[in-house]
A and B are shown apart, each in its own frame.
Chain A
Amino acid sequence: MIDNYLQIETRGLVFLGDFNPAVFHPFWLASKQLIQEEEATNAKIDIVMSELSRFQVGEWLNIEVSRSRCEFKTMKSPYFLPMKDLACNVFKILGETPITAVGINNIYDLSLKNEENYYRFGNALAPLSNWNDILDSPRLSQMMIVENQPKGEAGTKRINISPSASELKVNFGVNINVNNHFELSPNSNGKKAAQLVEEQHDSCAEYSKKLVSNIFTKIFG
């Protein structure tokens, strides 16, 4: 259903823990054969310091690491699985790194095509008739839905809905950001985090897409 509307799909893997950003360098990744040598040579480095490391590899992968947070992200769907492989391999190598939580983020920028659909979407999520008598021309700007009681090991879901960033040039664009949050048990490490990502990555993607499709079907039929 959402394929008719989907313009850009982004995926992010976030790890919370205790990191040394200075280790995260394109040449370190290449030395471990996690990326191609050419990619390391041509990487765009913004900064590599003890507090923050940020660079782009091969025009497909952005990595940003602070002392407490490590994020991998890509806007290119063919690279979702290579990015997962790379993140898991990094934390298999850095297996003893303390990790407290993992986030698997599926982000969709969808074009609603016209103003009528755009209004209809916001109005369906938050009925604007509740505001019409007190506000002039109310519109929904952003909302967040949180899953209060997750079932089993599915992780906690947090869905952010907002207009697409104007820089992305998505016509009547809506950004739906599905965060699948997993708290790890105390004393968890990189190895456990890597295992969790291996196990949950595909099911999170499938479920997130289904979740967005479900909303679209309800609103647009």
Chain B
Amino acid sequence: METLIISQDTYSYDKETAYYGQSEEDKRRRQEIQALIDVRVNSLDSKKTQYAQATDFFDKKLKPLFQQRPKNGLNYICQSMNWIGYVTEIREDSFTARLTDTSNDTTDEIADFDLQDVSKDDLSLLTLGATFYWSVGYAYQYGQVIKQSFIRFKRSMDLSVQEFDTIMDEVKQLKDNIVWE
């Protein structure tokens, strides 16, 4: 069975009917959806690797297909200071990290954070040596300026044994090529 999920607010029928309904109305809606998808896919393909303009509030032709965002749908961060943190110590209610300013990496800083600053879903990523991103700044959300600070832990894929061996081989080669005076 092919996956089909379409925003329920836009088309008021469920996915079973959408794909398997045989009424003339169902067929017409399927054709309508397909035509809109084709327009969108063609427009994306023409962009190649260039950025496809934000379409939350553009693409009037595609309005029926996509969820309608709030009229003032702007949600962006306008000014922020960002650090990359490396966890150096973990305590019962807090942890310490070494921070590198992403805009000025000349000097590292040390800071303590409360565990309550960490999202529930990120707590499992809090281990010694873990990397996180800390941001302090101003966000613009639907017309409201908000001062905010948040932490997000880096999610990495585990290396396979083969990848690890390849990296270690490359490191060894680099090390062997160093000419010491």
- B116 CB, nearest partner CB in chain A, Å: 16
Closest B-chain residue to A169, C-beta based?
Answer: B74
Q: For residue B95, which residues in chain A have a CB less than 8 angstroms away from its CB?
A: none
B49 touches A179 (CB 8 A): yes
Complex: A76 Cα to B65 Cα, angstroms: 25
Q: Is B84 an interface residue (CB 8 A)?
A: yes
A8 touches B76 (CB 8 A): yes
A160 touches B74 (CB 8 A): no
The proximity string for A residues 37-50 relative to B, scoring 1 for CB distances below 8 Å and 0 otherwise, is 11100001111111
Complex: A78 Cα to B77 Cα, angstroms: 8
B51 touches A45 (CB 8 A): no
Q: For residue B38, which residues in chain A have a CB less than 8 angstroms away from its CB?
A: 51
Q: Is A134 an interface residue (CB 8 A)?
A: no
A-B contact pairs, 24 of them (CB 8 A): A10-B54, A22-B2, A25-B5, A36-B119, A38-B120, A46-B65, A46-B67, A47-B7, A49-B6, A56-B56, A69-B44, A75-B54, A76-B139, A77-B77, A78-B150, A78-B152, A79-B152, A85-B154, A86-B155, A101-B48, A158-B50, A160-B50, A181-B49, A181-B50
A66 interface neighbour in B3, B41, B139, Cβ under 8 Å: B41
Identify which of residues 52-106 in chain A touch chain B, using a CB-to-CB cut-off of 8 Å.
Answer: 52, 54, 56, 59, 62, 64, 66-69, 71, 73, 75-79, 81-82, 85-86, 89, 92-93, 101-103, 105
Q: Is A173 an interface residue (CB 8 A)?
A: no
B51 interface neighbour in A81, A165, A179, Cβ under 8 Å: A179
Closest B-chain residue to A67, C-beta based?
Answer: B41
Range of interface residues on B (Cβ < 8 Å): 35 or more
B74 touches A167 (CB 8 A): yes
| Of A46, A66, A75, A167, most B-chain CB atoms within 10 Å | A46
B120 touches A49 (CB 8 A): no
Q: For residue B120, which residues in chain A have a CB less than 8 angstroms away from its CB?
A: 38
- A196 CB, nearest partner CB in chain B, Å: 12
- B124 CB, nearest partner CB in chain A, Å: 9
B152 touches A82 (CB 8 A): yes
- A174 CB, nearest partner CB in chain B, Å: 15
The proximity string for B residues 125-156 relative to A, scoring 1 for CB distances below 8 Å and 0 otherwise, is 00000000101010100000000001010111
Identify which of residues 98-124 in chain A touch chain B, using a CB-to-CB cut-off of 8 Å.
Answer: 101-103, 105, 107
Q: Is A14 an interface residue (CB 8 A)?
A: yes
Q: Is B89 an interface residue (CB 8 A)?
A: no
Q: Is B20 an interface residue (CB 8 A)?
A: no
**Count of A-B contacts judged by CB separation below 8 Å:** 152
A92 interface neighbour in B74, B78, B157, Cβ under 8 Å: B157
Q: For residue A69, which residues in chain B have a CB less than 8 angstroms away from its CB?
A: 44-45, 47-48
Q: Is A189 an interface residue (CB 8 A)?
A: no
Count residues on chain A whose CB falls below 8 Å from chain B CBs.
62
Binding site for B on A (CB under 8 A): 7-8, 10, 12, 14, 16, 22, 25, 33-39, 44-52, 54, 56, 59, 62, 64, 66-69, 71, 73, 75-79, 81-82, 85-86, 89, 92-93, 101-103, 105, 107, 158, 160, 165, 167-169, 177, 179, 181-182
B44 touches A64 (CB 8 A): yes
Given contacts A22-B3, A85-B156, A92-B157, contact A73 B76 (CB under 8 A): no
Known: A14-B51, A105-B50. 7 other contacts (CB 8 A): A22-B3, A47-B66, A49-B4, A49-B5, A81-B102, A86-B155, A165-B53
Complex: A86 Cα to B45 Cα, angstroms: 22
Q: For residue A64, which residues in chain B have a CB less than 8 angstroms away from its CB?
A: 44, 52
Given contacts A38-B120, A69-B45, A78-B150, contact A59 B6 (CB under 8 A): no
A45 touches B7 (CB 8 A): yes
B37 touches A78 (CB 8 A): no
